[in-house]
């Protein structure tokens, strides 16, 4: 059995090196790190808070906006002058074109070389890591901030502003930097990294089960292959020192009503804090989970959900805006329709958060237009009441159905010959199930489809299907399982790049920078984030159902 797993691990490693643009996407990383430092003790909390305001908000200790000058001409003030703008929330720096913005968290400024960890500066060059320098003091830090001269006496890059900071500002900022990204985040232990995935009630048991199996196998494979084996090809990143940590998966399965989920999550978390939430699945709301993650400053990476919460979140990253995105894509398509015959859009949706959310977006979009948007709510399973929802529809109407397959089936069976010429359904809610399409409705049905189609889709799915076959995991739902597979690869890549800097804020920053790097193994045409973005896919197709039952794009990739 051990030989079989070794064979499968080596086979998949070689496959990755052939397919991925970067060898960093393989599942065979070694985790070796330097010593964990203790946090700052006895530092004045008021002073640290003043330093935080300088760093994050550009507000000086006197309460006025910070002022700085870049390249002898560009004037910066307030938030634009905040250190976080370039050095990021974690203090671990960033890459601006070909300019490396160096880490300035306490370890990187004030520690000696013997205690200072490594950071990977440029993911395009695995050997490009932080260089040695003498420890900073408050005096040398002041000189760097005010005059742009580093601890070695050399002038810093011109992108580094010269700040008008007094001694109080320098002292407060120094106090803040000394504790910034000081202790490793909760969920990181000496020999393990704890991660969780979340399942809400009413999820299809088959999908929940296959998600957990995929994550467990990915973790098992990653843990088994992180050891150095003779004959295994190694990337330059493998050679950087780090501590071996096995990944441990917790499955947080929620029960009952959404208002009780926060308490359940708190119980799970108190028993075993985790570094991040990876993947996850819900068919209803995700808002209580997002709120919990924001409260705990807990990264939540790419769950499978139909509609992300509307509240802005720093720590939650999503594949797309779900049915809200579909509504905006449909609005764009209807506006560009050359025929412009339709005068009315009729929306039929379930009376739940998902249906209400999608229908509201579409109605709000046409609020100022001549096009009438009429809402009809599916609230009862009685056939006579369901048929009432179709009353008065004509060929000139546009019918939009924000419904799941079982409700779509009921509705399409009741449609007569005078059904609307265009019937749009949600690709997310349809769940890859188009059995509701009848012979009469087939020419009229269009799917708002947020995933890739055709040969590009097949190419993206090849690696996942090979991996599933290797581990004898069934293919239950292709787009969904592709998301889970992508999540596992992304987490492997991100944690590898982070080296020993296992800070939650840094994980989010790396995700922003790296989501689009490497070959695409997701069900989406393209995934990318820029700083502050939390939705990785921005568009969808309008597709029809061909005679052989496959989806065929009828539009270009539409980005609203």
Quote the CA–CA distance of 51 and 57 in Å, as a whole number. Answer: 10
| Confidence tier at 230 by pLDDT (50, 70, 90) | very low
Does the pLDDT at position 40 exceed 60? no
The CB density around residue 108, as the number of other CB atoms within 10 Å, is: 24
pLDDT-derived band at 126 (thresholds 50, 70, 90) equals low
Q: How confident is the model at residue 227 (pLDDT cuts 50, 70, 90)?
A: low
Q: What is the pLDDT of residue 22?
A: 38
If we measure between CA atoms, which residue out of 527, 40, 502, 49 comes closest to residue 320? 527
Read off φ and ψ for residue 372, nearest 5 degrees. Answer: -85, 130
In this predicted structure, the answer to whether residue 229 has a pLDDT above a threshold of 70 is: no
pLDDT at 226 over 80: no
Rounded Cα distance, 450 and 429, in Å: 11
DSSP β-bridge partners for residue 76? 68
Residue 3 pLDDT more than 60? Answer: no
Identify the residue with better confidence: 9 or 439: 439
Q: What is the pLDDT of residue 27?
A: 34
What does pLDDT average to over the chain?
Answer: 87
Q: Hey, do 2-30+187-319+475-504 and 324-449+542-553 end up sharing a CATH topology, with the first three levels equal?
A: yes
Among 92-96, 405-409, 505-509, which is the least confidently predicted range?
Answer: 92-96
> Are the C-beta atoms of 423 and 444 separated by less than 8 Å?
yes
> Does 536 have pLDDT greater than 80?
yes
10: confidence class by pLDDT, cuts 50, 70, 90: very low
Greater pLDDT, 453 or 6: 453
Q: Tell me how far apart the alpha carbons of residues 445 and 463 are, in angstroms, rounded to a whole number.
A: 32
Mean of the pLDDT values across residues 308-333?
96
pLDDT score recorded for residue 69: 92
pTM here? Answer: 0.88
- Contact between 541 and 558 (Cβ < 8 Å): yes
Predicted local distance difference test score (pLDDT) of residue 29: 31
Of 246-250, 256-260, 441-445, which gets the smallest average pLDDT?
A: 441-445
CA–CA distances in Å: residue 328 to residues 47, 322, 425, 538, 551: 47, 10, 13, 10, 20
The per-residue pLDDT for range 453-512, each reduced to its tens digit, is 999 999 999 999 999 999 999 999 999 999 999 999 999 999 988 999 999 999 999 999
Q: Which residue has the higher pLDDT, 379 or 89?
A: 89
CATH 3.40.50.2300 fits 324-449+542-553, yes or no: yes
Helix (H, G, I), strand (E, B) or coil at 240: coil
User: How would you class 159 by CB atoms within 10 Å of its CB: exposed for 0-12, middle for 13-18, buried for 19 or more?
Assistant: middle
Query: pLDDT tens for residues 150-197?
Result: 999 999 988 899 999 999 999 999 999 999 998 999 999 999 999 999
What pLDDT is attached to residue 415?
85
The answer for 336, left when phi > 0, alpha when psi is -120 to 50, beta otherwise, is alpha
The predicted-structure confidence for 441-465, as pLDDT tens digits, reads as follows 999 999 999 999 999 999 999 999 9
Does the pLDDT at position 18 exceed 80?
A: no
Lookup result for tokens 């000496």:
190
Residue 414, CB-side half-sphere exposure with 13 Å CA sphere: 17
Please state which of the four CATH numbers 3.40.50.2300, 3.40.50.300, 3.10.20.30, 3.30.420.480 is assigned to the domain occupying 2-30+187-319+475-504.
Answer: 3.40.50.2300
Mean pLDDT value across residues 9-14:
39
Contact 194, 248 (CB under 8 A): yes
Token couple for 75: 């004037």
Q: What percent of the chain has pLDDT over 90?
A: 71
Q: Which of 215, 328, 361 is nearest to 281 (CA)?
A: 215
134-146 tens-digit pLDDT? 999 999 999 999 9
* Distance between CA atoms of residues 371 and 345, nearest Å: 7
Q: Sketch the domain layout of the chain as residue ranges.
A: 2-30+187-319+475-504, 45-179, 324-449+542-553
What would the mean pLDDT of 298-310 be, rounded to a whole number? 97
Sheet bearing 551-553, strands edge to edge: 372-378, 344-350, 398-402, 422-426, 445-449, 541-545, 551-553
Gap between the Cα atoms of 105 and 48, Å rounded? 13
Give residue 100's pLDDT: 86
**pLDDT tens per residue across span 334-392:** 998 755 556 799 999 999 999 999 999 999 999 988 889 999 999 876 777 888 899 99
- The reported pLDDT for the residue numbered 158 is 86
pLDDT digits (tens, 9 = 90+) for 277-287: 999 999 999 99
Give which of 292, 282, 353 is closest to 324, Cα–Cα: 353
**What is the predicted pLDDT for the residue at 477?**
96
């Amino acid at each position: 059995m051990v030989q079989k797993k070794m064979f499968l691990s080596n086979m998949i490693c070689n496959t990755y090196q052939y397919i991925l643009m970067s060898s960093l996407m393989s599942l065979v990383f070694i985790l070796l790190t330097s010593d964990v430092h203790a946090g700052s003790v006895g530092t004045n909390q008021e002073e640290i808070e003043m330093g935080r305001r300088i760093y994050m908000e550009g507000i000086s200790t006197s309460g006025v906006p910070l002022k700085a000058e870049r390249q002898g001409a560009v004037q910066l003030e307030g938030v634009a002058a905040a250190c976080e703008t370039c050095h990021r929330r974690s203090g671990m720096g960033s890459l601006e074109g070909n300019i490396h913005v160096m880490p300035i968290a306490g370890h990187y400024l004030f520690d000696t070389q013997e205690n200072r960890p490594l950071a990977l500066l440029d993911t395009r060059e695995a050997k490009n890591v932080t260089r040695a320098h003498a420890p900073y003091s408050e005096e040398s830090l002041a000189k760097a901030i005010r005059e742009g001269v580093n601890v070695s006496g050399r002038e810093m890059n011109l992108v580094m502003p010269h700040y008008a900071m007094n001694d109080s500002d320098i002292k407060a900022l120094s106090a803040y930097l000394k504790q910034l990204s000081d202790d490793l985040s909760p969920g990181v232990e000496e020999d393990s990294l704890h991660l969780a995935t979340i399942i809400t009630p009413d999820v299809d048991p088959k999908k929940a089960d296959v998600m957990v199996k995929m994550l467990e196998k990915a973790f098992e494979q990653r843990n088994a292959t992180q050891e150095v084996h003779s004959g295994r090809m190694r990337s330059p990143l493998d050679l950087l020192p780090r501590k071996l940590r096995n990944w441990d998966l917790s499955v947080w399965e929620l029960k009952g009503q959404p208002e009780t989920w926060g308490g359940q999550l708190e119980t799970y978390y108190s028993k075993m804090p985790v570094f991040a939430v990876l993947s996850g699945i819900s068919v209803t709301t995700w808002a209580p989970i997002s709120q919990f993650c924001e409260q705990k400053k807990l990264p939540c990476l790419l769950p499978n959900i139909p509609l992300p919460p509307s509240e802005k979140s720093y720590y939650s990253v999503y594949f797309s805006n779900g049915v809200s995105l579909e509504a905006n894509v449909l609005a764009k398509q209807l506006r560009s329709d050359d025929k412009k015959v339709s005068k009315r859009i009729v929306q039929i949706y379930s009376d739940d958060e998902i249906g209400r959310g999608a229908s509201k977006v579409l109605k709000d979009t046409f609020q100022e237009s001549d096009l009438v948007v009429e809402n009809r709510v599916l609230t009862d399973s009685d056939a006579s009441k369901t048929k009432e929802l179709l009353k008065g529809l004509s060929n000139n109407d546009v019918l939009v159905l924000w419904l799941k397959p079982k409700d779509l089936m009921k509705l399409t069976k009741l449609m007569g010959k005078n059904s609307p010429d265009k019937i749009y359904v949600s690709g997310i809610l349809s769940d890859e199930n188009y059995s509701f399409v009848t012979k009469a409705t087939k020419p009229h049905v269009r799917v708002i489809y947020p995933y890739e189609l055709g040969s590009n889709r097949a190419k993206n799915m090849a690696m996942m299907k090979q991996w599933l076959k290797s581990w004898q995991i069934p293919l239950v739902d292709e787009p969904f399982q592709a998301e889970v597979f992508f999540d596992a690869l992304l987490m492997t890549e991100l944690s590898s790049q982070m080296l020993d800097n296992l800070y939650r804020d840094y994980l989010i920053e790396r995700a922003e920078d790296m989501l689009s790097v490497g070959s695409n193994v997701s069900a989406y045409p393209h995934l990318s984030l820029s700083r502050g973005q939390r939705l990785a896919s921005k568009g969808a197709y309008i597709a029809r159902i061909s005679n052989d039952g496959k989806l065929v794009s009828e539009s270009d990739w539409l980005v609203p």
